[in-house]
Structure 1
Amino acid sequence: MKSTRWIAGLAAASLLFLSAPIKADTLENGGGPYTVYNEDGSVLFTYSGQVYAEDQYISGDNKLYQVSEVDDTARQGKAAYVEDVELPDIFEEVDSTAFAPEDTKRIAIYFTHTDESYIPGDGAESVEGQGGIVDVGEEFAAALEEKGVEVEVDTTNHLPHDAGAYRRSKSTVTNLLESNPDAIFDIHRDGVSADEYVQEIDGEAVSKIRMVVGKKNQNQQANLEFAKSIKAVADKEYPGLVKDIYIGKGSYNQEIGPRCILFELGTHEIEKERVLASSGLLADVVYTTLYGGTVEDKSEVSGGGEEAPHQTPEASAGGAGGAGSAGATPQAQQAKTYNVKPAREESKGMGSGLIWLLVVVVGGGAIFLFVSTGKNERKTKLVDNVREMFPFKKRDDDDPS
């Protein structure tokens, strides 16, 4: 354990030494959400973070779009349809119930923005210290623990809520790696209109969930496949729960491993009770995705859940997942049961992230620093970054500011 802690600490310190605050990793930009339009002029989605050209978006009906242009002043963008998305084939039809194997199951949860809150429920969109988002994360953890999962919840505060928050939370993520979790989740809430997230599933008022995957790291494809697997299970078990997947320019600390996902649970304007209810559904989906089990395909019975507020032209014309899809009436259909192939067995472990951090970041990055900076600048950067990561006890002769 000591060696693991030493490696994790060295990796985190190295990353802080080599990286500057990344503006692309800011999920809320302070100037209001961006509205991104489809090619026909209809609203495709809104996003509370910075939107960049070439960002990608997977809609609720599994269509891939790419942002083609962005107007930062107007907070608007345009996106073009690329292709229909094939979600991972992780299902096998069965006649009997399958059970996940009896072994250690471990998940880690943290909050880059611990202040995020819900106005209906917390009274404000941001609460200094631990906001309502922590309650949601702990509810998610409790639901997982009921299924036999060991969950480590780290509520370390990474304020201020700025572009440097992800840099500060990087040390939290690397510390969580010590327990070798099967997946690491960063829990957030969105900053768009509540209408984007309102949903009803099985007669219960809940909130939709968005996943965010970073493009700027070597684990992008593995994390995107994991996100798609989560959506595939959710689309069958709880149609309409997963709103979409945003694939953004940042890294969001997902370079740490192949199963690191950022969840947006609701928005600041939605009722907190809805989000708490969704956290239990998300636990069901995550557990089945990671460890296997069975799901009933409710998508065929329910017709895919509530219609998305911004329907694509293909969907409105009767395309896959759209409201125009024909079929038998819900009452005439019977849900099929499927086995789910465990994602934990389909990809490499989280420990690979540490190896990559040490080999690539320490080696290649250090060379870059020596080439691009002077001696005094390197020293200043190293001291500043180490102090930011490790809150050393202040000495009497330290600068009081």
Structure 2
Amino acid sequence: MDRRKKYYLAGFFGILFVILITAYFLNLNHNKNLPFPPFASSADYYTIRDTAGNIILQTGIKVYQDDEYINEKNIHYIVTSVKGKEAVAVVKNQASSHDITSVPTASLFLPDKLLKPDFTDISVAIYHTHSDESYIPTSGTASKKGNGDIFKVGKALKERLEIPGIKVYHSLNAHDPHDINAYHRSRRTAIDLVKKGPDALLDIHRDSAPLSAYQTNIKDTQAARVMIVIGRSNPNMQVNLDYARRVKAAADKIYPGFMRGIFIGKGDYNQDLYPTALLLEVGTEQNSLEEAKASMNFLGDILIHVLRNEDRS
């Protein structure tokens, strides 16, 4: 190759290098002006960050603009933008979850029997919309059609609540497949349970998120944290949210850090059927079934505290 061709090639690659560097910095400046930080994610969960890029929440629940999240410290966020599986949220307000104890019980439309100091006629109903959900360390898979590990989690909670004499209705109905119509299928189950007049209606799930988001240790016991989910499309959402806040306040008092927070998402999750209906996410697929079952002892203590109305005393 003669000297002239070498000069041409060197000049060509030099110009190409300058163009690439210029494009890179222009892209950085462009991203700085976006309302959405340039984080890429190929995970099977959504990540919500604040405007500084700090992670607020990671969850398998689909996130939409205007969804809200009350975190462990009771900072209330609202989602302002969503791009792919990355979202940005800003602070809506900050208040103690214990403030909910100032709300008169009657305003929550709870059954009168909740005002009784014992468990006479007290009952809880449990079901599982996503009946396939399982825990990989235990079962080797995140999904077992019609017979997910989540049923055993519900059974563990049932057994804990029955100790002081609470009546528990635990539905073993399967609602597969795990698709957009699962809540339509589970609605029939929820309606049947509502007819029994329970004091709480619990739809127990398993989330999808990094293990670090849910793994915890309570009283030297490895366990999975719990997150409450409330549907904001429910016209009576505020009543369900008030009850969720009561449960979280009790958790904050008895087992600080156990309750991950309250996610307020698009949809109603069949909570329009009952004022004390809650959806509970117990751990992630990376937790073990034993950790999830251990959590039910702690969750049971929290629910007993609320059902006894001790959070009002």
Where on the TM-score scale, by shorter chain, does this alignment land: which range?
A: 0.7 to 0.9
2:312 aligned residue: 341
CA distance in 1, matches of 2:172, 2:224: 23
- Aligned CA-pair RMSD: 1.6
How is 1:245-256 mapped onto 2 (pairs within 5 angstroms)? 245-256=262-273
CA distance in 2, matches of 1:234, 1:82: 22
| 8 Å contact from structure 1 (residues 34, 46) kept in 2 | yes
CA distance in 1, matches of 2:244, 2:59: 18
Please list the CA deviations of residues 13-32 of structure 1 after superposition, one character each: whole Å capped at 9, or x if unmatched.
xxxxxxxxxxxxxxxxx971
CA distance in 2, matches of 1:44, 1:276: 26
1:50 aligned residue: 62
CA distance in 2, matches of 1:275, 1:174: 26
**Do structure 1's residue 85 and structure 2's residue 56 form an aligned pair?**
no
| 8 Å contact from structure 1 (residues 108, 183) kept in 2 | yes
| 8 Å contact from structure 1 (residues 234, 242) kept in 2 | yes
CA distance in 2, matches of 1:116, 1:251: 20
CA distance in 2, matches of 1:215, 1:85: 20
Partner amino acid for 2:101? I
3-state SS, counterpart of residue 306 of structure 2: helix
Pick one of 81, 86, 99 that aligns with 1:76.
86
Pick one of 208, 211, 224 that aligns with 2:228.
211
Residues 206/52 of structure 1: CA separation in 2 closer, same or farther (3 Å cut): same
1:222 aligned residue: 239
1:376 aligned residue: none
CA distance in 2, matches of 1:221, 1:281: 26
Flag structure 2 segments of 5+ consecutive residues without an equivalent: 1-41, 103-115
Pick one of 126, 132, 135 that aligns with 2:152.
135
Residues 213/166 of structure 1: CA separation in 2 closer, same or farther (3 Å cut): same
CA distance in 2, matches of 1:219, 1:45: 25
1:177 aligned residue: 194
Please list the CA deviations of residues 307-338 of structure 1 after superposition, one character each: whole Å capped at 9, or x if unmatched.
xxxxxxxxxxxxxxxxxxxxxxxxxxxxxxxx
**Do structure 1's residue 159 and structure 2's residue 148 form an aligned pair?**
no
CA distance in 2, matches of 1:89, 1:50: 27
CA distance in 2, matches of 1:129, 1:89: 38
2:134 aligned residue: 117
Once the 2 structures are TM-superposed, how far is the Cα of residue 86 of structure 1 from its aligned partner? 3.3
Pick one of 240, 265, 276 that aligns with 2:282.
265
Partner amino acid for 1:341? R
Q: Taking structure 2 as the reference length, what is the TM-score of the superposition?
A: 0.79
CA distance in 1, matches of 2:236, 2:216: 31
Partner amino acid for 1:86? S
3-state SS, counterpart of residue 124 of structure 1: coil
Once the 2 structures are TM-superposed, how far is the Cα of residue 241 of structure 1 from its aligned partner? 0.7
Please list the CA deviations of residues 129-187 of structure 1 after superposition, one character each: whole Å capped at 9, or x if unmatched.
11100000000011001121000001111111001000111010001112111110000
Once the 2 structures are TM-superposed, how far is the Cα of residue 103 of structure 1 from its aligned partner? 1.7
1:33 aligned residue: 45
How many positions carry a matched residue from both structures? 258
**Do structure 1's residue 100 and structure 2's residue 100 form an aligned pair?**
no
| 8 Å contact from structure 2 (residues 100, 242) kept in 1 | no
2:79 aligned residue: 67
Indicate the structure (1 or 2) with the bigger Cα radius of gyration: 2
Which 4+ residue blocks in structure 1 deviate beyond 4 angstroms? Answer: none
Flag structure 1 segments of 5+ consecutive residues without an equivalent: 1-29, 92-98, 294-339, 343-401
CA distance in 1, matches of 2:154, 2:144: 15
